[in-house]
């Protein structure tokens, strides 16, 4: 009786072991392309306020190493504004950053309300950071693109 159970168990498990091994051999690895992110013609860095204002109507573009433009799936814009305040207990002036963020999907341009907000509030010392940039290739695969960090001069 125990001999029959062992034989039955081996007959039931053996096909699954063969099936699992055959699938592992056929999988091919997807190698992500090297991507470069642009906002207008800028890749980031220290940029004059007038130039940043001119970039507000520009799109976010991501280009692969094969010079193919990929479709933007989503991105996050973080605007950090530098403010100064007086500490009431010591009377000294200290600086702080206020952060504002905007998510946008399947649109490579900033929303109109954000363009207006940035035009009215940007000043030297502030920062714009396009982060969490995801793009789609022609096959529908999602890839993460490099961030764009701009410090306004």
| Residue of 52, 71, 46 whose CA lies nearest to 115 | 52
3 found inside a domain: no
126 found inside a domain: yes
117 found inside a domain: yes
Please report the pLDDT score of residue 29 as a whole number: 77
Widest distance between CA atoms in the chain: 90
115-135: pLDDT as tens digits: 999 999 999 999 999 999 999
Give the mean pLDDT of the chain: 87
| pLDDT surpasses 50 at 102 | yes
3-state helix, strand and coil shares in percent for the chain, rounded to the nearest 5: 25, 45, 30
Total number of domains in the chain = 1
Please report the pLDDT score of residue 106 as a whole number: 86
Q: pTM of the full predicted structure?
A: 0.75
78 found inside a domain: yes
| pLDDT surpasses 70 at 3 | no
8 found inside a domain: no
Tokens of 132: 């969490």
Region class of 33: left (phi > 0), else alpha (psi between -120 and 50), else beta: beta
Please report the pLDDT score of residue 134 as a whole number: 96
Do residues 62 and 33 lie in contact, with contact meaning Cβ atoms separated by under 8 Å?
Answer: no
Q: E strands along the chain, which residues?
A: 35-39, 45-47, 60-64, 69-86, 93-105, 127-136, 142-145, 148-152
Please report the pLDDT score of residue 26 as a whole number: 47
19 found inside a domain: no
21-63: pLDDT as tens digits: 545 444 567 788 999 999 998 999 999 999 999 999 999 999 9
13 found inside a domain: no
Please report the pLDDT score of residue 27 as a whole number: 55
Do residues 125 and 49 lie in contact, with contact meaning Cβ atoms separated by under 8 Å?
Answer: no
Long-range contacts of 137-144 (CB under 8 A, 24+ apart): 137/33, 137/64, 137/68, 137/70, 138/68, 141/30, 142/73, 143/32, 143/33, 143/35, 143/70
Give residue 78's domain range: 35-152
122 found inside a domain: yes
């Amino acid at each position: 009786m125990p001999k029959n159970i062992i034989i039955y168990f081996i007959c039931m498990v053996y096909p699954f072991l063969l099936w699992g091994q055959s699938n592992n051999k056929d999988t091919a690895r997807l190698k992500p392309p090297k991507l470069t992110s642009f906002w207008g013609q800028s890749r980031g860095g220290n940029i004059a306020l007038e130039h940043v204002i001119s970039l507000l109507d520009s799109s976010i573009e991501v280009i692969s190493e094969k010079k193919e433009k990929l479709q933007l799936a989503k991105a996050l814009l973080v605007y950090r504004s530098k403010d100064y305040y007086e500490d009431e207990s010591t009377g000294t002036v200290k600086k702080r950053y206020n952060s504002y963020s905007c998510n946008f999907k399947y649109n490579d341009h900033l929303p109109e309300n954000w363009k207006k907000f940035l035009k009215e509030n940007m000043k030297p010392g502030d920062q714009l950071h396009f982060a969490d940039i995801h793009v789609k290739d022609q096959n529908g695969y999602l890839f993460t693109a490099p961030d764009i960090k701009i410090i306004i001069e």
